[in-house]
Amino acid sequence: MRSMTCQLPGLLLRATRGCGRIRVDSASRGANREPPFYRHSILSFRFFSSSGSSPSAMAAHVKALTSPYPGSQVKRWPVPPEKVSWSVEWPEYQPVEYTAPSVLAKPPWADLPLSTSGFCPRFNALDGKVQRESFEGTYQVEDSTPRNPAGRTGVTGRGLLGRWGPNHAADPIITRWKRDADGKAVSDPDSGKPVLQFVAIQRKDCGQWAIPGGMVDPGELVTATLRREFCEEALNSLEKDKGEKDTEKKVQDLFSQEPLLVYKGYVDDPRNTDNSWMETQAVNYHDGTGRLLDLLPLEAGDDAGKVTWVDVCSKCSLYASHASFIKLVAEKHDASW
Ligand code: BGC
């Protein structure tokens, strides 16, 4: 198992729509309730205004304005910060339409084009097994097309995202205290506070370091997603036979630790569009003793090219909003940042 600081190697610093006319869906929320075991929900952490009433979109979109759009040459319509909010009139706004060929190829994880006859997704609702509710409340649906609750992005369509509206992910933040060769906890010389470490993966799609998260499958409990994604990306479970999986007991013990819900909501993600966006639940599982995690053999798999322990510190530059989640975890454990 390797251990390293925040100076990560290779780190990239950074139609006819037959389902109705203009309307605002107002189905009630509810299916994404927190599992009862979440002892703590840091709801003050928001990309939205502290009043909690309306999305503070101006502050939200930075990565969601990344141009060209990831994996393409498509240039977003430039959106200055003061024009992100839908509440600002902008008749000249002409976003580019883009849905990636991989999404248009109709993979099982993606919706159909909205123009497809008979395809009428129920937005702001649990639509069969597909969760189309947003953690941010009721989002607008105009001309049968959902509208990004955090504002303009300069692109319409779905880009690389499969779902119209919210695309739900889950991020397991696995932490332990950094220890020296004698097993003594290491403190940061400046802050005097103990140094926390978390499991980071290097994403194959963009080369950026990230929490080993992933998409919640239709009908899947988020607790199952958290565990599955960690096993697939940080333990390479997909490539292991059942018989080889002697780490399963340790994984079981790890995910039986009391979890801490760090964040739940909209994510400023470079893949977001005006009609499709990422939301996530970031959950911390902390091994205070280090005994559990020291024995887990990290091995990158699935969407991860590399996996390693990373020291938590303010210089961490991570994918999407992941650094913000890590900061919250450091605060929660009163660790060095
Ligand atoms: C990633 C998550 C991330 C989410 C939003 C997902 O594709 O797997 O780690 O939080 O996107 O950026």
CB 3 within 8 A of CB 178: yes
Q: Which of 24-28, 44-48, 59-63, 154-158 has the highest mean pLDDT?
A: 154-158
Residue 23 CA to residue 246 CA, distance in Å, equals: 53
pLDDT in tens, 238-287: 877 665 556 777 888 888 888 899 999 999 999 999 999 999 999 999 98
Q: Is the pLDDT of residue 1 over 50?
A: no
Longest CA–CA span in the chain (Å) reads 68
User: Closest residue (by CA) to atom 4 of ligand 1?
Assistant: 169
CB 169 within 8 A of CB 213: yes
Nearest-atom index, ligand 1, CA of 322: 10
Amino acid at 102: S
Is there a domain that residue 220 lies in? yes
Q: What is the distance in A from the centroid of ligand 1 to the CA of 280?
A: 7
Amino acid at 110: A
Rg of the chain taking only CA atoms, in angstroms: 20
String of DSSP letters for 229-271: HHHHHHS-GGGS-TTT-TTHHHHHHHTTSPPEEEEEEEE--TT
Is there a domain that residue 25 lies in? no
Q: What is the distance in A from the centroid of ligand 1 to the CA of 73?
A: 22
For 185-212, letters b (16+ CB in 10 Å) and e give eeebeeeeebbbbbbbbbbeeeebbbbb
What's the DSSP call for residue 81? Answer: G
Is there a domain that residue 143 lies in? no
Dump strand ranges (E) for 178-330.
Answer: 196-203, 209-210, 214-215, 260-267, 276-287, 304-311
pLDDT in tens, 76-125: 999 999 999 999 999 999 999 999 999 999 999 999 999 999 999 999 99
Residue 144 CA to residue 164 CA, distance in Å, equals: 10
Is there a domain that residue 116 lies in? no
What is the domain-level CATH number for residue 232? Answer: 3.90.79.10
pLDDT in tens, 204-251: 888 889 999 999 999 999 999 999 999 888 888 887 766 555 677 788
**What is the domain extent for residue 214?**
3-10+168-332
Per-residue confidence (pLDDT) for residue 57, from 0 to 100: 32
Is there a domain that residue 322 lies in? yes
Is there a domain that residue 238 lies in? yes
Short-list 65, 2, 9, CA closest to 207? 9
Enumerate residues 6+ apart whose C-beta is below 8 A from 309: 1, 2, 3, 4, 176, 197, 198, 199, 200, 298
Cβ(270) – ligand 1 distance below 6 Å: no
Is there a domain that residue 216 lies in? yes
Which H, E and C letters describe 118-170, residue by residue? CCCCCCCCEECCEECCCCCCCCCEECCEECCCCCCCCEEEEECCCCCEEEEEE
Per-residue confidence (pLDDT) for residue 241, from 0 to 100: 67
CB 305 within 8 A of CB 194: no
pLDDT in tens, 133-184: 999 999 999 999 999 999 999 999 999 999 999 999 999 999 999 999 888 9
Nearest-atom index, ligand 1, CA of 271: 12
* C-alpha 298: how far from chain center: 21
List the beta bridge partners of residue 171: 282
Domain count, the chain: 1
CB 170 within 8 A of CB 216: yes
Cβ(229) – ligand 1 distance below 6 Å: no
CB 254 within 8 A of CB 292: yes
Is there a domain that residue 278 lies in? yes
User: Closest residue (by CA) to atom 5 of ligand 1?
Assistant: 278
Residue 158 CA to residue 150 CA, distance in Å, equals: 15
